[in-house]
Amino acid sequence: MGRFSIPLLGFLVLCCLALVSEATTYAKYKDSKQPLSARIKNLMNQMTLEEKIGQMVQIERNVATADVVNKYFIGSVLSGGGSVPAPKASPETWVNMVNEIQKGSLSTRLAIPMLYGIDAVHGHNNVYNATIFPHNVGLGVTRQKIGEATALEVRATGIPYAFAPCIAVCRDPRWGRCYESYSEDHKIVQAMTEIIPGLQGDLPANSKKGVPFVDGKKKVVACAKHYLGDGGTTKGINENNTVINLNGLLSIHMPAYYNAISKGVASVMVSYSSWNGKKMHANHELVTGFLKNKLKFRGFVISDWEGIDRITSPPHANYSYSVEAGVGAGIDMIMVPNNYKEFIDDLTYQVKKNIIPMSRIDDAVKRILRVKFVMGLFENPLADYSLVNQLGSQEHRELAKEAVRKSLVLLKNGKYADKPLLPLAKKATKILVAGSHADNLGYQCGGWTITWQGLGGNDLTTGTTILNAVKNTVDSSTQVVYNENPDVNFVKSNKFTYAIVVVGEPTYAETFGDSLNLTISEPGPSTINNVCGAVKCVVVVISGRPVVIQPYLAKIDALVAAWLPGTEGQGVADVLFGDYGFTGKLARTWFKTVDQLPMNVGDAHYDPLFPFGFGLTTKPTKN
């Protein structure tokens, strides 16, 4: 035995050194002191094809379990619109759910944490009791920064990734997503990309252009969407075709992406729409050639929900082609969101057969890992309860109220300029509040609130309706009478001092909101006619876009565009009654008739009812 001892000892030493070396190599990517590129390289060198493809997959919460993310090495999970762990779930319940799934990721061989994403498009809008800010159509009026508060409320529920902001330039209000757009003017949309540092944190001074940045546990990964031309489709038809030359595409729809990338946006979502007949989800020239190569974007590109499926018509008709075209175009993370096994199998097959080169997979994984490392997800993969009190906090509601006040646009004030109706007197004998939207929190919030399409009524979440805000604001001696749809006799016989009529659109999201007529919901027009024909009235329009108002304008004494103000209806009353003045200006052209559309500022045929930039002002009063 003795003559074997020295070689055996040497062999054991070598084994130990190899194990130590392997352990050291293995741990390098977990060391936050290492340079970013070294961490990415070290981790990718250890990853199998299966592990790499898993990083590219985003699945829906309802198919995600700790076992699924563990078995398939899933890189990301999302909540679609209205996808919640339980009705009216508390932030603690959300944190527990996200952590439970995360534990599946952390128990894989390399323990790469998954990234949980959610649509937080006007505040943390899927979550009960969250502050619901005005939709973007109103914020484009205010140039208001809401990002920081949204980031805190999203993190309060354990989620580090928000699919916001939408930097679409809506060129036709017939589009059902027009309320997700800040303006028809790309310059306003560019200014509103300031929400990105609110969500992600301020980019450090020495940052390289295009490199993503997320400043720790109180910030979230943002997502500029939908790339590119989503707001320019023919007749505003959702997911349709944007017919425009390259110069038009780059000068109208692209500029806000320059700003987003220079502010370190960590992800970009591709649009369902096409550009001159070519699906954006299959557009290699614009996704890889322009966004990644020319603009030097170094974050990851994500598909929209079943976005690659919709490359074909009908969707999912040739899924292997969709996988090849979508991944080949340069999409890094695929929002599958349900049939993940089919996606994984198809992509694995295509890589093994050299249909999709390994370099394309490595590019995708490198980008996803870069964001996960930059945001500190490896150091802090599990959420805690430390931010739960941020959800729906009073401070955030005050901010939302301020945003509402600044978003309101006064379009008419009195039938004669020298006799304004607004601000309204708080002290009056008896006033009427009428209209389908006066006491309806759901209508105030619009789509993408608690559910995907939004909900009518007052029990969807917590907030203040305009009716309650009026009651809170008027003098205690003023009698407030609420009648949703009064007839003329009721109005005439009651001798009201004045009336507030609140009407508008129903809730909707995406294609369900596409409209060729843009009318106020019934019985809104008859409520306007019955009330405004009999008593001095201010009409407040709750809508996601300009709507047909010209036929009623002569009867109306004062007209206010309130857009979709969210949960803080008090902001509307604050300005109606003069505690604050009207300051908002239209970030969208208000048309006379729909047959003028599309009609945007600068067009040769520009003949609006109220032009872009219009807005009467009032001064605050003490009354």
What is the residue whose two structure tokens read 């679409």? 168
d(CA 402, CA 252): 30
Beta strand residue intervals within 39-139, DSSP E: 57-60, 76-79, 115-118
Q: Is the CB of residue 481 less than 8 Å from the CB of residue 499?
A: no
Backbone dihedral region of 94: left (phi > 0), alpha (psi from -120 to 50 degrees) or beta?
alpha
Q: Is the CB of residue 168 less than 8 Å from the CB of residue 252?
A: no
User: Among residues 185, 309, 332, 510, which one is catalytic?
Assistant: 510
CA dihedral 196, 200, 206, 212 (to 10 degrees): -90
Is 510 catalytic? The answer is yes
User: Among residues 51, 119, 304, 574, which one is catalytic?
Assistant: 304
Helix (H) / strand (E) element for 587: namely none
d(CA 562, CA 560): 6
Tokens of 323: 């996988």
Q: Is the CB of residue 124 less than 8 Å from the CB of residue 130?
A: yes
Beta strand residue intervals within 507-557, DSSP E: 537-542
Q: Is the CB of residue 459 less than 8 Å from the CB of residue 392?
A: no
CA distances from 80 to 53, 63, 301 (A): 22, 12, 18
Q: Is the CB of residue 556 less than 8 Å from the CB of residue 502?
A: no
User: How big is the chain by its Cα radius of gyration, in Å?
Assistant: 27
d(CA 476, CA 428): 10
CA distances from 452 to 126, 445, 584 (A): 8, 12, 28
d(CA 173, CA 609): 14
Encode burial over 504-515: b for 16+ CB neighbours within 10 A, e otherwise.
Answer: bbbbbbbeebbb
Is 304 catalytic? The answer is yes
Residues serving a catalytic function are 304, 510
